[in-house]
Structures are given as structure tokens and as C-alpha cells.
Structure 1
Amino acid sequence: MSELPGTGVGRGVALGPVLRMPEPLGAPSSAPLDGPVEAADAAVHEAVAAVADDLTKRGALAGGDAQAVLEAQALMAQDPTLLDDVHTRISGGANAERAVHDAFAAFQDILAAMGGYMGERAADLGDVSQRIIAKLRGVPAPGVPDSDTPFVLVARDLAPADTALLDLDKVLALVTSDGGPTSHTAILARAKGITAIVGVEGAADLVDGQTVVVDAAAGVVVTDPDPDLVTATEARIAERLAAADRPVTPGALADGTLVPLLANLGNPADAAGAVALGAEGVGLFRTEFLFLDSPTAPTVEAQRQAYVQLLSVFPGKKVVVRALDAGADKPLSFLTDQDEENPALGRRGLRALRHHEAVLRDQLTALVQADAETEADLWVMAPMVADAEETAYFVSLARELGVRTAGVMAEVPSLALLAEQVFQQADFVSVGTNDLTQYTLAADRLLGSVASYQDPWHPAVLRLVAQLGAAGRDAGKAVGICGEAAADPLLAVVLVGLGATTLSMTPAALADVRAELGQHTLEQAREMARAALAAPSAAAARAAATSAHVV
């Protein structure tokens, strides 16, 4: 029996035999092109179109976060720069398969060298390349193996197209040797509620049929477990299954302190599924889906219909809608500047909306109309707000147009530093931990070379949350968390200890967070928060909170 460490996703545990992913397709032949360049080019474009269409259809079937990931892969397949490189290689005498392999591999090397987030995108690009080559060969693309019995899937990494459509009746858990907490394998496993451990040292040595325990909570894979561990693991699995079958209760700490658990959603179609998983409302509804891929802003009527569809699912429940958050990695031709050198620090979020106020007025008008037709408790917030003056602008406009509860997102450190002033204007504040971490640590979320800084456990980030929590408590107003940090069960407890009054997350994380909250009193959560705040680094903060929890 031995332990292989990695990064756990969620708090799940699984026990079963290993089944490894098949190896990738062999490298194409280096034989020279045999036939016209035009014919080879046409074959590549036909294969690319077929792969992009397949990825898009898989995304539509999967829905949610998986759909966005697979649609991004479909765009990768059709990237003009890559296709130009393929054409250049074919024109130089390479056969079609080899040209695709080499062009994609060259760009993969660039991404891999960047490391972190961008390095993890290299695996996605490799999967696209494999699928195109398989189409050219007329063979099936490598994928998840078939099995008549449940298994633990072990792979170097898992393609988003495979992760999105895993048969959860057969796949007990995922174990990968590559990837990290921001890899698409981790993101999709979290969204689908799959027990997973990524970046496992020694995963390559696991063999088919070998029995393993996959303990995501501890971040370890245990090989060849002894009878005592097997018994203990089976008991944990049974307890988790029993807990899942129990009636969903409101989120609360062990002493009865209520902590409403809300869902992060990006489309009204995902609302019913979130309710089924125990969402007590919505803490972040992203409205970008209405605006992306459009040359103009949608009409008030088109927006109203979408908002009615969402709000109708949550009668009497809080639904927090974020005003359009365009800019940075979500540019819109009709709203954001196209030539900014650093768009993450440019005119994005409320800055862009304020510059094009008609777009913001239309959105708020549509939300008010939808609110009048439904029975949800609508809250509306502005993204990328820097200070009390911007807060006052948004809240004043929202109230002018009929919004009853208006607040702002805390993503910029300056807003946390001015929290007392902000709460004089806003009805509530919601903390976007993803961007707050990015701006606090001066590390672009999309830049792989600084991916190690993207950790909301960093004490600097936690101190800003603590300032917001204290100011909200003094003002008697809500402080929500709607970033990915809330989906980490242990960190969720710490955030409550820092003053968070609600937590919002991907729906699949609700059960684990609800269970973790129930193990701690408010005073214990505050003790864990104090320990994390005193730590010198993100890793030390997590360790300190864990030790405080054990004590």
C-alpha cells in the first residue's frame, strides 16, 4: 500500500479498479505529399469542420461550463493562424496528417513553455489535433475506454470533450498525471461533481485492474489498499450516498448559523438543475451569454424573456444578477475598446457600461420588467467597481429605473479598502474572488507564467475579504462570495469566518460545501480564519486553517 499525492478536486472518495486511457494516435508518417496541395488543403478543412461541429454538438449535450469549454475547443480547431501554418507545411511538401501534427505541436510547445493556465491549454490543443488526424485517417478518435463494470479512469490528462460526456455510472473517479487546479479536467470535474485528483505523481505507473482509493479530500491516491482502509472507504462512500439522498437542508454551521448556499449560473437553462442540487437561490447570474457573438446589444424584449425564464425558477428566492461584464477576455465590438494594450486593466465592467450608458439602461429596464412578472427576490450588481463614487453612480441609476436591491462586486482591491464608504451607498457587496485575487497579486488570470499566484487562499486576498466582512457587519448588510473560492469546502468555512453571509458556487459543489459547513461552529470558523490571516503564503494559510480545524 502506497500513497501518490496530487491536487484533489472536491471532497469525494472512490474505490475501484484502474482502467487507463488508450495511448494517443501514433505520429503520422513523414512521407512526402502524394497529390495536389489543393486536395490536401481541402481534406484538412473538411476534417477541421467535422471536428468543430462534433465538439459543438458535444457541448450542447453537456451544457453548463462544459459547453463553454468545448465551444472554445471548436474555435481552436478553426484558428486561422494554425490553419495557415498547416497550409504552409503542405505547400512545402508535407502530407496532410503530418502538417496538422507538426503545426499543432509547435503551438502546443509554446503554450506548454508558458506553464500554468496557458500550459494546461496545451492539452486541449493536443486533443483537437488528435481528432483532426483521426478524421483524416478515417478512424475513431482516442477516447474513454468502454467497460462493463465501474472503474477509476487514469490518464495523462483528459480532453474536455471526453470529460464533458463521461458516463458517471461507470467512471468512479478521475486520476491524471498532468494538470492542475485550473486545468479543464479539474474545472469540469468540479462542475460535474466527479471525484478527481489531478497532477498525481506516479499515476503513470498505475496499471489496469489495480485497486486504488481516490481520496480527493486528502489529495492522495492509495494503491493496493489494505482491508481496513477498504472497509473505511466503503463506509465513507456509503455515508456520502446517504447524505445525497437526504432532504436538502438550508446551508448552516454546526451551531445553527445560517449560511445560504447559492448557485453561479451562466444560462437560464441551468437553473432547474441547480435547484435539484440544493441551490437556495442564485448568487451570480452571468448575463454575457445574451451579448457575446453579437454585433449589437440585444433588445430590451429579448433580454426580458431570458430574465423571466431565470427568475421564474426561483419564486421567493434571492437571485443576484450581474450587469454585463464585458472587456478583458470578453470583448464586445459594440461596447469595449479594441486596441487596449492591457484590457484586464482597461475599460471593462462598469467602466465600459458607463461609457455606453444606453446599454446599461436597457439591461436594467429589462431586469425590472422581468422582476415585475415574477416572484423572485431580484438583486442586481455592477462588476469591476473601484470606489464609492462608482457605487453611487450605479446604485442611483438602478434605483431610478426601478431596481429594488442594488449592489456592487468587490473585485478591485480599492473597493475593499473603501468598504465603509461603499456600504453607505450599496445595499450589498458580492466578492468576486477570481478577479480580486488577480488584481491583488498583480497576476493576469490568463497568463500562464504567473498562474501560481492565482490562489484565493493568499492572506492578502483574505485580509481584503475580512475588511469587507467587517464593514458589511457594521452596516448590517450582506457580503456574498461568488468566485470559485466558495466551491472549496474548507475555504468556504474560512470565508464565513471572515464575515461572508452567503456563498455562491458551481451547483455540483453545493453538497460538499453544505457538509463541511455543518462540521464547524461560527467561532471555529473565525478561529480558522484568524489562523489563515496570520500565515505568510497561500499554502501556509491552507495548512494553518486545516490545523485549526483539526484542533
Structure 2
Amino acid sequence: LIEIYDLMQPGHPENTAHETGSDPAIIKPLTFRALDLGGDKPVRFIPSPIEMNPSLGLRGIRLLLKRPELLRNHIAALLQMAATWRRPLRFMLPMISTIEELLEVQTHINELIPIVATEQSIDAEELAQLLPTGVLVETPAAALMIEQMATLVDFLSIGVNDLAQYILAVDRTNASVAAMADPLHPAMIKIMSHIGRAGRQAGIPVSICGEIASDATAIPLLLGLGMNELSVTPAAVALVKQAVRQCNLLSCRQLAEQALKCQNSRQVRELLMAL
């Protein structure tokens, strides 16, 4: 997973993207998250007002849609890079709350495809296939609308840390309550199951990012809930691979069914530790 910060760098907007992924040894799909600023991640080059509730304010895709020149530069950079390499580059949209936001982003993509295709001497239909688009599910609204959203995108990813914050009404920056933002809360288990099922029905992959994706004890549960991909730090790759290889998918699904019946996080953890 690569987050696009090319506009914070000097030179043409696609330069950072090219430098980031131009190593020919990289053969796995690359996922680029759109610039996820605002809220608790302000930057000087985007003036923003002081907000009483920054986590609920102008951030993620909301900010980019208010500043379409930033969004269009992101899209153009990725399209140019995809055209150069002739390989797909996945574009992930953070903090989506409505289908209207998703469609507005797709309108920008559709407008830029023929422009970049002409510049790069590539067929527009071919170029369109090289930028699969997905949603980072972080808001309750996106989670509840996921069946409809899944029909409009190429992949889904669960941003479990922010999603837990919003589902459980917990400020992760407040030390007094931060521990309550538990990704193994039964409400989170149900939400992840719902998203995983929507991905299966739409025939698209579902990934999960956050600390829980690196938790070896939780991996059987995540697989059973329908996660196809785990987004982890490089240091955790070996541990996660080993944990996945030890899993039986049928057993994982049975575990998920048991977890969905739990009444609290403690019961979920006891279930996982009993494996």
C-alpha cells in the first residue's frame, strides 16, 4: 500500500509515483491510497480551518473533492504511470461515505482517461482497465451501503482502526477511552462479516489494514470473515505468512460463525486463544 504524496514533492505530479514503483522487480499489484489528509493530519500547503471534531470534518475524499485539482493530479499521475508500465495500479479512496462521492471520483477518472491515453499513445479502453478503483471502508455509512458500493468498484479494503472509532463512538486520541476502540468487539465482527460477504457476492477481493491484520491469533478469524488480503508492515510479513499457511479455510469459517455469536470482546479473544 502506497499513499500518494506527490503534490508535496517538487516537479511534475507524477514524479513521486514513478520513483516509488518503477522497480521492475515489483511484480505484485501496487495499491495507491489517495492523499488522506485533513482531520488529525493537516499540512501547510492545504489551508484548513480549525475544526471542533476533525475526525468528522474535512478529510480524505471529502477534502479532495473540495480541491479537485489535487484529486485530478493524483489520477493523472497514476494513469500516466500505468500507461508507461502497461500494468494495473489500484487506486484506493479513503473516507468514502456516499455513493455520490464515489461516482464523482469516477467521473474525474473517466474524464482524464482519454486525455492521458492520447498523451501516452495507448488505447483509452485499455488504459481504463489499468486503474482498478476501490473503497477504503472507514465509515459506518460505507459499511452499511457496501453491497451497493461493491457493484461499482474493483476491490474493497477495511480501514479497521478508523472504522472501529466510528462504529464504537470512541476517540482513539483520547487515552481515557482509546482502548475501547477494539477491532474484536462483536459489532466490528458483524460489520467485517457483512463487508466480506458483500465482496464475495460482487466477486471482488476484500482486504483489511490496521494492527489486527498483523495479529497472528486473529488471522484465522479474519480469513473466516471473508478477508482475501492482509495489509501489514514489512516487519510482519513473515509472521503473517506463517499464520496464514497454518489455516484451514473451512475451519476459519466455522470459527467466524462462533465469533459472530459472542457477546463481548473477551469472549472473542477466549475463542481465538483456544485454537
Output the CA distance in 2 between the equivalents of 1:393 and 1:496: 32
* Residue in structure 2 matched with residue 472 of structure 1 by the alignment: 199
The answer as to 2:231 corresponding to 1:508 is no
Per-residue CA deviations over 1:431-461 (Å, capped at 9, x if unaligned) read 1111111111111121111111122111111
Residues 386 and 414, structure 1, Cα contact 8 Å, conserved in 2: yes
Alignment of 1:326-475 (within 5 A): 326-335=37-46, 337-374=48-85, 376-402=87-113, 404-475=131-202
Per-residue CA deviations over 1:272-295 (Å, capped at 9, x if unaligned) read xxxxxxxxxxxx21224x45xxxx
Output the CA distance in 1 between the equivalents of 2:106 and 2:10: 22
Output the CA distance in 2 between the equivalents of 1:499 and 1:367: 29
* Residue in structure 1 matched with residue 16 of structure 2 by the alignment: 306
2:224 to 469, 476, 497: 497
Point out where structure 1 has 5 or more consecutive residues left out of the alignment.
1-283, 292-296
Tell me the CA shift for residue 300 of structure 1.
6.8
1:521 to 226, 245, 248: 248
Output the CA distance in 1 between the equivalents of 2:90 and 2:28: 10
Tell me the CA shift for residue 307 of structure 1.
1.0
Q: Which residue identity does 1:443 align to in structure 2?
A: V
The answer as to 2:19 corresponding to 1:287 is no
Residues 317 and 377, structure 1, Cα contact 8 Å, conserved in 2: no
Q: SS in structure 1 opposite 2:230?
A: strand
Q: Which residue identity does 1:422 align to in structure 2?
A: M
Per-residue CA deviations over 1:323-352 (Å, capped at 9, x if unaligned) read 000012111244352221110010100001
Structure 1 residues 529 and 367 mapped into 2: Cα distance closer, same or farther (>3 Å)? Answer: same
Q: SS in structure 2 opposite 1:449?
A: coil
Output the CA distance in 2 between the equivalents of 1:509 and 1:519: 16
Point out where structure 2 has 5 or more consecutive residues left out of the alignment.
114-127
Tell me the CA shift for residue 506 of structure 1.
0.6
Q: Which residue identity does 1:330 align to in structure 2?
A: K
Q: SS in structure 1 opposite 2:218?
A: helix
Q: SS in structure 2 opposite 1:447?
A: coil
Tell me the CA shift for residue 484 of structure 1.
2.1
Output the CA distance in 1 between the equivalents of 2:22 and 2:142: 33
Indicate the structure (1 or 2) with the bigger Cα radius of gyration: 1
Q: SS in structure 2 opposite 1:361?
A: helix
Residues 308 and 374, structure 1, Cα contact 8 Å, conserved in 2: no
Residues 432 and 482, structure 1, Cα contact 8 Å, conserved in 2: yes
Higher relative contact order (CA 8 A, sep 6+): 1
Identity %: 37
* Residue in structure 2 matched with residue 17 of structure 1 by the alignment: none
Output the CA distance in 1 between the equivalents of 2:47 and 2:177: 25
Output the CA distance in 1 between the equivalents of 2:98 and 2:172: 22
Per-residue CA deviations over 1:355-393 (Å, capped at 9, x if unaligned) read 111111011111211222235531001100012222222
Structure 1 residues 440 and 415 mapped into 2: Cα distance closer, same or farther (>3 Å)? Answer: same
2:262 to 515, 522, 535: 535
Alignment of 1:16-35 (within 5 A): none
Per-residue CA deviations over 1:81-125 (Å, capped at 9, x if unaligned) read xxxxxxxxxxxxxxxxxxxxxxxxxxxxxxxxxxxxxxxxxxxxx
Aligned CA-pair RMSD: 1.9
Output the CA distance in 2 between the equivalents of 1:380 and 1:336: 25
Structure 1 residues 424 and 396 mapped into 2: Cα distance closer, same or farther (>3 Å)? Answer: farther
Q: Which residue identity does 1:429 align to in structure 2?
A: L
* Residue in structure 1 matched with residue 125 of structure 2 by the alignment: none
Per-residue CA deviations over 1:388-435 (Å, capped at 9, x if unaligned) read 222222233224323521111100011111111101211111111111
Structure 1 residues 546 and 399 mapped into 2: Cα distance closer, same or farther (>3 Å)? Answer: farther
* Residue in structure 1 matched with residue 35 of structure 2 by the alignment: 324
Tell me the CA shift for residue 298 of structure 1.
4.6
Alignment of 1:43-62 (within 5 A): none
Structure 1 residues 519 and 493 mapped into 2: Cα distance closer, same or farther (>3 Å)? Answer: same
Residues 365 and 401, structure 1, Cα contact 8 Å, conserved in 2: yes
